[in-house]
Amino acid sequence: ILNVEQSPQSLHVQEGDSTNFTCSFPSSNFYALHWYRWETAKSPEALFVMTLNGDEKKKGRISATLNTKEGYSYLYIKGSQPEDSATYLCAFPDGSSNTGKLIFGQGTTLQVKP
Amino acid sequence: KAGVTQTPRYLIKTRGQQVTLSCSPISGHRSVSWYQQTPGQGLQFLFEYFSETQRNKGNFPGRFSGRQFSNSRSEMNVSTLELGDSALYLCASSVGHTMNTEAFFGQGTRLTVV
């Protein structure tokens, strides 16, 4: 059974702080690693889909790195703002079944205080 | 471009009843997946449809079923509802496999079983 772990489970930071969270996934049979942001009362929204070892992606103040050999990805938020408050999910495609099945971590809930 | 649309948004049903939820994917997307989120649980995969065929099913009882129509719209049905079926049900669409491409989520249907 594939398992995706995220840490920490929750995080409270002050506006302006930089923060990062971790996603751990099986290092074998790697296809891709997805990051989603899920704001309250909205739909989960894709941030990044990462496919190559050493990949680094950036969207504004948010960036992510990928290490497929050791099975982890980091998500960084520079200078957190209250609008960054959300649950951040990583997901690992279940490639063994050759379908679109995504296995999600439990998420990291970020609260940014003004 | 319209996003993923789920109907209804909220639903209250009685134990033993059945329910049908609907998902209209983004135009041109052929893959539709369904996920369940219950309090304290991450997103759990229910099933995925591609070109009207169910390609994979998660670890849920047979009371949970679904289908996809020729226009890629999908429905999921839960029969003989139990209290534990109360959850947020999300559907996601993607162009093909979600392994290398992002999934686009609807806002979900909040089902309450009383």
Mean pLDDT for all residues in chain B: 94
Please state which of the ranges B24-28, B99-103, B107-111 shows the lowest mean pLDDT. B99-103
Q: The tokens of B82 are what?
A: 């139990």
User: With contacts defined as CB-CB under 8 Å, which chain A residues touch B33?
Assistant: 100-102
Mutate to test the interface with B, among A6, A43, A55, A89 (most CBs of B within 10 A): A43
Distance from CA of A103 to the nearest CA of B (A): 7
Mean pLDDT of the region B4-22: 98
Tell me what pLDDT residue A98 has.
65
Please state which of the ranges A84-93, B5-14, B89-98 shows the lowest mean pLDDT. B89-98
**Cβ within 8 Å of B, A 32-61:** 32, 34, 36, 41-46, 49, 51
Nearest 10 degrees: Cα torsion B76, B80, B81, B85: -60
Distance from CA of A93 to the nearest CA of B (A): 5
Whether the CB of A94 is below 8 Å from some CB of chain B: the reply is yes
Tell me what pLDDT residue B44 has.
96
Tell me what pLDDT residue A96 has.
65
- Of the candidates B42, B58, B103, the beta carbon closest to that of A106 is on B42
Q: pLDDT digits over B63-93, tens only?
A: 999 999 999 999 999 999 999 999 999 999 9
Rounded Cα distance between B15 and A39, Å, is 30
pLDDT level of residue B114 (50, 70, 90 thresholds): very high
Distance from CA of B42 to the nearest CA of A (A): 4
Mean pLDDT of the region B50-71: 94
Rounded Cα distance between A59 and B63, Å, is 41
- 10-residue mean pLDDT profile of chain A (114 residues): values are 89 96 90 94 95 93 96 97 97 76 94 96
